[in-house]
Amino acid sequence: MKVENEIHIYRINGEDTKVGEKINLKMRSVWNKKQFVELQIGDGIKIVVKDSDLIKAVQNSTGNED
């Protein structure tokens, strides 16, 4: 099964995105490896990361008070 999600990007290189700007983070399944996901910003390069590493990174990066 092929799965694709798109997430709105709110800031790029420290600058807020503009209303109506359609640059998204795309996340797709990797057909031959269940534990990996492919990430792509807009039409840019594609990278593949381990799903558990990405989940841990998100958990570690959120909920922290600066």
With beta carbons less than 8 A apart as the criterion, state whether 30 and 15 touch.
no
Q: Which of helix, strand or coil describes residue 10?
A: coil
DSSP track, 17-59: PPTT---EEEEEE-TT-TTEEEEEETTS-EEEEEHHHHHHHHH
pLDDT tens digits for 5-41? 999 999 999 999 888 888 899 999 998 888 999 999 9
pLDDT tens digits for 54-66? 999 999 999 776 6
Question: Could you say which DSSP state residue 6 is in?
Answer: E
